[in-house]
A = this chain, B = another copy of it.
Amino acid sequence: MSPQALAQGIVDGQAMAQRRAMAKAITLLESTRADHRAQADELLTALLPHTGRALRLGISGVPGVGKSTFIEALGLYLIGQGHRVAVLAVDPSSSVSGGSILGDKTRMERLSVHERAYIRPSPSSGTLGGVAEKTREAMLVCEAAGYDVVIVETVGVGQSETAVHGMTDMFCLLQLPNAGDDLQAIKKGVMELADLVVINKADLDPDAATRAQAQITSSLRLLGLHGHPEHMHHDERIWHPQVIRISALRGQGVADFWAQVQTFSRLQQDSGRWQHKRQQQARAWMWERIDAGLREAFRQHAAVRQKLPALSDAVLQGRQVPSAAARELLAVFLRAQEQAC
């Protein structure tokens, strides 16, 4: 099937036909073959005019916090409100573990079989940058297919959160009602990314949940007050990160959560921050792929491959200055271009 026909199947297809086109498209995007990559770029270009209208929601939290239960409850609630919901994941460890998040669809039993939901596990190969790129591209496929809420799930180790923050409009952090956990989230820089902190399992120990809410609220205030302007992810005049308590298992608090998301979305859109953030994300995505591509080309370059092992050893053994070794390798890599120019 041509990329154009595939794009049409995604945009105009109905029910199972659309679902098959989406699966085919995402498989094409994940292929590493050069001819597939060229087709994938054609496909993405054809889809692009039909993308960008979904709300992109990042959801993070350590294992055991109840992400799947929460996402299932949220997804079913949103479908009840007339939305179509896609759930994607970024989990760079899934190639090792065999897929720790969303690998087992039975964890979202009811959502995964719903015709208005589309669930896709994390791409299972490559670096974080590569996994994130495939998820970003899959997000465009879902948007072109008319899914108007895209949830991107990740698991709390810091770097993958930054990647998911970089591809979503709003980033939500799930926490347990356990006062010690917030220090970990602060340390990893995850707390700082959060537009909304959700204390799940609040029914288990309501007092602990209330204490955790107060403590996280106070930490967020300190992070906001003392933050260096360059490093700020929020504009405090528009939105101050909120902390809410829910119980996903009992379905309590999901409507409250969605109300917060809508308030955030409205304030951001009215202030122009929404569009500005998406532009910054697009620019950063392009440069991240350029950097990754440059390094890949460098490592594959014949003359670099010939010189690198000996120079690298010399650097490790203190026989060569690292910056001089870098300049020597760069000269080898760039020589071909200078000659051509």
A140 and B321 alpha carbons, distance in the complex (Å): 9
> Is A297 a contact of B330 with CB atoms below 8 Å?
yes
> Is A286 a contact of B323 with CB atoms below 8 Å?
yes
Contact of A336 among B319, B323, B337 (CB under 8 A): B337
A44 and B140 alpha carbons, distance in the complex (Å): 50
Contact of A321 among B41, B219, B323 (CB under 8 A): B41
Closest partner residue, chain B, to A226 (CB atom): B184
Closest partner residue, chain B, to A286 (CB atom): B322
Does A158 count as interface, using CB distance less than 8 angstroms? Answer: yes
Q: How many copies does the complex hold?
A: 2
A279: shortest Cβ distance to chain B, in Å? 5
Q: Mark A301-341, 1 if CB is under 8 A from B, else 0.
A: 11000000000100110111111111101100110110111
Q: Which residues of B contact A201 (CB under 8 A)?
A: none
A301 and B325 alpha carbons, distance in the complex (Å): 22
Count chain B CB atoms within 10 A of each CB in A226, A321, A333, A336 and give the residue with the most.
Answer: A321
> Is A297 a contact of B189 with CB atoms below 8 Å?
no
A329 and B292 alpha carbons, distance in the complex (Å): 13
Give residues 141-159 of A contacting B (CB, 8 Å). 157-158
Closest partner residue, chain B, to A298 (CB atom): B294
Q: Which residues of B contact A279 (CB under 8 A)?
A: 316
Does A98 count as interface, using CB distance less than 8 angstroms? Answer: no
> Is B316 a contact of A41 with CB atoms below 8 Å?
no
Does A187 count as interface, using CB distance less than 8 angstroms? Answer: yes
> Is B330 a contact of A341 with CB atoms below 8 Å?
no
> Is B186 a contact of A41 with CB atoms below 8 Å?
no
Which 3 residue pairs are nearest across A and B when measured between Cβ atoms?
Answer: A289-B326, A336-B340, A286-B322
